């Protein structure tokens, strides 16, 4: 049984990740390393969990490492795409399930990462604490969630999403396709050295805040849908997320997001922390 109403999460990501299998090897590898704080070699011999694996772009990177076992879990039919993109890789298992009630024993994983997922659950803090329980003593967890924005930006985002999250996906997805070129235009305007043009780009960006500016047009459509469609999309402060790590008793907390964009200018900068369960501690 699903906790809360996560049916829109299931329909959104079932559609999104099966229609847009946006494997981009260089970008995925760079993003994986930056947002987990781990190289593939650091996974050697480890049992790894990709919590909210979606269509498996980062699962694929971890599964290509010398890890002992890599497990991906996702709530939606995205697991079908994840199975396809990891086909042929040994030591990978994929499970459809809910992070709010993870179907795993406490203390079973050496490494857990969850990139852009907790903020799409109805209760990100609780989902995080559930994940932290799954870490063995000495194990590491890294998460990425959307950052809280200025009040005016939050108000614009919320107003747009009040409408977009109520649109049927069959209407919203074509709208995202139509809107995606605006992302390319914003990108060009905002890069202008002529200030009035740059300001025009900023104004256009505010008005179309969820329209992705990713340089790749297909990723742009996918990211735009990802922003306008899901019912749950919470944004968090560094202090709030650091509080979850403290509550879970994690130590050696590192701010992985401090370095800025990873792969291309303007790539989503979020709240991105990692931490370790102290060796010798017991699962809570």
Ligand X SMILES: C[S@@+](CC[C@H](N)C(=O)[O-])C[C@H]1O[C@@H](n2cnc3c(N)ncnc32)[C@H](O)[C@@H]1O
CB of 190 to ligand X, least distance (A): 24
CB of 215 to ligand X, least distance (A): 17
* Residue 64 binds to ligand X (criterion: CB under 6 A): no
* Residue 210 binds to ligand X (criterion: CB under 6 A): no
Give whichever of 21 and 238 is closer to ligand X, judged by the CB atom.
21
Give whichever of 94 and 190 is closer to ligand X, judged by the CB atom.
94
* Span 19-48, contacts to ligand X by CB under 6 A: none
* Residue 124 binds to ligand X (criterion: CB under 6 A): no
Question: Radius of gyration (Cα) for the chain, nearest Å?
Answer: 19
The one segment of 50-58, 160-168, 249-257, 268-276 that binds ligand X by CB under 6 A: 50-58
The one segment of 54-62, 152-160, 168-176, 212-220 that binds ligand X by CB under 6 A: 54-62
When binding is defined by CB under 6 A, the residue of 62, 85, 117, 131 that contacts ligand X is 117
How is residue 222 written in tokens? 């996918």
Give whichever of 100 and 185 is closer to ligand X, judged by the CB atom.
100
* Residue 120 binds to ligand X (criterion: CB under 6 A): yes
When binding is defined by CB under 6 A, the residue of 15, 63, 98, 222 that contacts ligand X is 98
* Residue 131 binds to ligand X (criterion: CB under 6 A): no
The CA–CA distances, whole Å, from 29 to 58, 100, 169 equal 7, 28, 30
Q: What is the 3-state secondary structure (H, E, C) of the chain?
A: CCCCCCHHHHHHHHHHHHHCCCCCHHHHHHHHHHHHCCCHHHHCCCEEEEECCCCCHHHHHHHCCCCCEEEEEECCCHHHHHHHHCCCCCCEEEEECCCCCCCCCCCCEEEEEEECCHHHCCCHHHHHHHHHHCEEEEEEEEEEECECCCHHHHHHHHHHHHHHCCCCHHHHHHHHHHHHHHHHHHHHHHCCCCHHHHHHHHHHHHHCCCCCCCCCHHHHHHHHHHHHCCCCCCCECHHHHHHHHHHCCCEEEEEHHHHCCCCCCCCCCCEEEEEECCCCCCCC
CA distance 278 to 258: 24
* Residue 130 binds to ligand X (criterion: CB under 6 A): no
End-to-end C-alpha distance for the chain, whole angstroms: 24
CB of 99 to ligand X, least distance (A): 4
* Residue 187 binds to ligand X (criterion: CB under 6 A): no
x/- map, 214-233, ligand X, by CB under 6 A: ------------x-------
When binding is defined by CB under 6 A, the residue of 78, 92, 190, 209 that contacts ligand X is 78
* Residue 116 binds to ligand X (criterion: CB under 6 A): yes
The residues, ordered by sequence, that sit 6+ positions from 262 with a Cβ below 8 Å of its Cβ are: 30, 31, 34, 35
The one segment of 9-17, 150-158, 177-185, 255-263 that binds ligand X by CB under 6 A: 9-17
* Residue 110 binds to ligand X (criterion: CB under 6 A): no
* Residue 86 binds to ligand X (criterion: CB under 6 A): no
> Which residues sit at the interface with ligand X, rule CB under 6 A?
6, 9, 13, 17, 52-54, 57-58, 73-76, 78, 98-100, 115-117, 120-121, 226
């Amino acid at each position: 049984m699903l906790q809360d109403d996560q049916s829109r999460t299931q329909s959104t990501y079932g559609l999104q990740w099966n229609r847009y299998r946006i494997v981009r090897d260089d970008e995925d590898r760079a993003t994986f390393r930056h947002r987990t704080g781990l190289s593939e070699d650091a996974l050697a011999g480890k049992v790894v969990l990709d919590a909210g694996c979606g269509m498996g772009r980062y699962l694929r990177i971890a599964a290509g490492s010398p890890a002992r076992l890599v497990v991906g879990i996702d709530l939606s039919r995205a697991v079908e795409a994840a199975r396809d993109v990891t086909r042929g890789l040994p030591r990978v298992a994929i499970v459809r399930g809910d992070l709010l009630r993870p179907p795993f024993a406490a203390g079973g994983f050496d490494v857990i990462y969850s990139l852009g997922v907790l903020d799409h659950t109805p209760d990100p803090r609780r989902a995080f604490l559930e994940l932290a329980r799954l870490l063995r003593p000495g194990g590491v967890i890294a998460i990425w969630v959307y950052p809280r924005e200025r009040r005016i930006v939050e108000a614009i985002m919320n107003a747009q999403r009040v409408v977009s999250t109520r649109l049927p996906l069959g209407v919203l997805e074509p709208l995202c396709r139509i809107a995606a070129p605006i992302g390319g235009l914003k990108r060009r305007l905002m890069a202008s050295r002529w200030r009035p043009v740059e300001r025009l780009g900023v104004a256009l960006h505010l008005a179309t805040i969820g329209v992705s500016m990713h340089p790749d047009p297909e990723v742009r459509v996918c990211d735009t849908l990802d922003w306008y469609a899901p019912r749950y999309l919470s944004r968090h402060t560094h202090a709030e997320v650091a509080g979850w790590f403290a509550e879970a008793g994690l130590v050696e907390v590192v701010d992985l997001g401090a370095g800025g964009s990873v792969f291309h200018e303007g790539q989503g900068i979020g709240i991105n922390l990692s931490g370790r369960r102290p060796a010798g501690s017991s699962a809570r």
